[in-house]
Amino acid sequence: MKNVKLHLIALGLVIISELIGIIQIPVGIGTIVLLPMLFAMVLGILTTPKFLKIAKEKEMDDAGSLIGLTLMLLMAKYGTNIGPTLPKILAASPALILQELGNLGTVILGVPLGVIVLGLKRETIGGAHSISREPNVALIGDKFGLDSEEGQGVLGVYIVGTVIGTIFIGLMASFLAVNTPLHPYALAMASGVGSASMMTAGVGSLIAVYPEMEEMITAFGASSNMLSGLDGIYMSLILALPFSEWLYKKSYKFKYKEFPEPPMTKEEK
Q: How confident is the model at residue 244 (pLDDT cuts 50, 70, 90)?
A: very high
Backbone angles phi, psi at 31, to 5 degrees: -140, 130
Does pLDDT of 32 surpass 80?
Answer: no
Strand pairing category for 30-34 and 23-27: antiparallel
Name the helix (H) or strand (E) containing 24.
strand 23-27
Q: Is the dihedral of CA 49, 54, 58, 62 positive or negative?
A: negative
Q: Provide mean pLDDT across the span 19-36.
A: 74
Question: Tens of pLDDT along 202-220?
Answer: 888 888 788 888 888 988 8
Q: What is the pLDDT of residues 56-73, one digit of tens each?
A: 878 877 777 776 677 667
Determine the angle formed by the axes of helices 134-143 and 214-235, rounding to 10 degrees: 10
pLDDT (0 to 100) of residue 226: 75
pTM: 0.68
6-10, 14-18, 247-251: the lowest-pLDDT one: 6-10
70-73-75 Cα angle (round to 5) = 110
* Average pLDDT along the chain: 81
Confidence of residue 12 (pLDDT cuts 50, 70, 90): very high
pLDDT above 60 (res 17): yes
What dihedral angle (degrees, nearest 10) is formed by the CA atoms of 138, 141, 146, 151?
Answer: -90
